[in-house]
Amino acid sequence: MTAPTAPPTAEPEATEEPVVHILWINAGLSCDGDSVALTAATQPSIEDIVLGALPGLPKVAVHWPLIDFECGPMQGADTFIEWFFKAERGELEPFVLVVEGSIPNESIKLDGYWCGFGNNPETGQPMTTSEWLDRLAPKATALLAAGTCATYGGIHAMAGNPTGAMGVADYLGWDWKSKAGLPIVNVPGCPVHPDNLAETITYLLYQVAGQAPMIPLDEMLRPTWLFGQTVHEGCDRAGYYEQGQFTTEYGSPKCLVKIGCWGPVVKCNVPKRGWINGVGGCPNVGGICIACTMPGFPDKFMPFMDEPPGAKVSSGASSLYGKAIRRLRKITLDTVDKEPRWRQKGRALLTGYEP
């Protein structure tokens, strides 16, 4: 008996859906904290992005050391690193390059290398992270620096460090533009806020797919909608600051500025957004803001836990003003904390109602 043949169809052949690749290099001078942070994102989650749960998002293939099944540092058919060589050969189009960790200055060392990612097949030696940047940046449609190390150098770029570490924009140039005309996109934080990173990746994917306008960035290349406000402006404790109520020890609900909080001059939305699922946010839960998102971090904010120099003046003024305001508010508070006098039993209507 012969098998029945399928009826002829007028349907056009399905065209293959374009894929946007995300190539993630976590091999700057890095602790992988930003990769770990992204696993906690919920708005959206990395699963939402990768599994196509967001309407209109292009199909995505993520090549990320933290979760990739493939492994191996050498070039070859089934190795993780092969995706990066494919991108270099122009075989992945389009791709978003994510860099985590600061970029050391390889030209100042006497021998060896500061950091690398996979091996260079020509030499059998590790391919330095800066060489990967040189090779891949011209081919990338977008380039995202994740975390304060990759954006501005961070902890590895402190005064006295031997590596000459710097951020991606310091390395490639602050005016660098991708072949599609996008500047470097910086999402700082140590670690980066999970949802800030997930949201920015999502924005870039929409933009690469032609569904979003140019990403709005400030002069330090941060997304403006995420870094336009200070910690202080979103802090749960701002009311205490305004009333001149400052704690000098931990465990108090009052403002933390006298024990080292830099929130008034730090651009970060963490207190507003919370850390995970809207919960937490450094000063909200009792931790001083050490300014981990800022380009001047950490050097310009040390020693941590000392009162910031400018805070003496502002908290002094706030203490004077706050004392007077608290007295006046106490009078009003005592009044509004009582019910109106006509709410009582009896035969008389005392509300002022006139028929």
Q: How far is the CB of 52 from ligand SF4 (least distance, A)?
A: 28
CB of 323 to ligand SF4, least distance (A): 17
Q: Tell me which residues touch ligand SF4 (CB under 6 A).
A: 30-31, 33-34, 100-101, 147-149, 154-155, 189-191, 231-232, 235, 237-238, 241, 255-257, 261, 263-264, 266, 268, 270-271, 282-283, 289-293
| Cβ closest to ligand SF4, residue 104 vs residue 283 | 283
How many C-beta atoms surround the C-beta of residue 108 within 10 A?
10
Minimum gap (Å) between residue 330 Cβ and ligand SF4: 21
| Residues 248, 172 contacting (CB under 8 angstroms) | no
Closest CA to 150 of 284, 263, 33, 303: 33
Query: What gap in Å lies between CA 168 and CA 103, rounded to an integer?
Result: 6
Please name the residues in contact with 51: beta carbons below 8 A apart, sequence gap of 6 or more: none
- Residue 204 Cβ, how far from ligand SF4 at the closest point, in Å? 19
Contact yes or no for 44/115 (Cβ under 8 A): no
What are the percentages of helix, strand and coil residues in the chain, rounded to 5? Answer: 30, 15, 55
Q: Output the smallest distance, CB 162 to ligand SF4, in A.
A: 17
In whole angstroms, the minimum distance from the beta carbon of 126 to ligand SF4 comes to 19
For residue 154 the two structure tokens come to 């961070």
Residue with smallest beta-carbon separation from ligand SF4: 263
Cα–Cα distance between 312 and 26 in angstroms, integer?
A: 40
By C-beta, is 31 or 212 nearer to ligand SF4?
31
Give the torsion through C-alpha atoms of 105, 135, 18, 64, to 10 deg.
Answer: -40
Pick the closer one to ligand SF4 by CB: 205 or 291.
291
CB of 147 to ligand SF4, least distance (A): 3
Q: Return the SS3 of 89.
A: coil
Specify the residue, 215 or 291, whose C-beta has the smaller distance to ligand SF4: 291
CB nearer to ligand SF4: give 20 or 198: 198
For the bound state, the minimum distance from the C-beta of residue 310 to ligand SF4, rounded and expressed in Å, comes to 11
Spatial distance between the Cα atoms of 259 and 315, rounded to a whole number of angstroms:
12
Query: Is the peptide bond preceding residue 94 cis, with omega within 30 degrees of 0?
Result: yes
Instruction: Give me Rg for the CA atoms of the chain.
Output: 27
CB closer to ligand SF4 out of 20 and 292: 292
Looking at the Cβ atoms of 277 and 351, the one nearer to ligand SF4 is: 277
**CB neighbour class for 187 (10 Å; exposed up to 12, middle 13-18, buried from 19):** buried
Nearest to ligand SF4 of 121, 286 (CB atom): 286
Alpha-carbon distance 50 to 287, whole Å? 33
> Which C-beta is closer to ligand SF4: that of 92 or that of 231?
231
Q: For residue 190, give the nearest of 237, 145, 251 by alpha carbon.
A: 145
Question: At its nearest, how many Å lie between ligand SF4 and the CB of residue 237?
Answer: 4
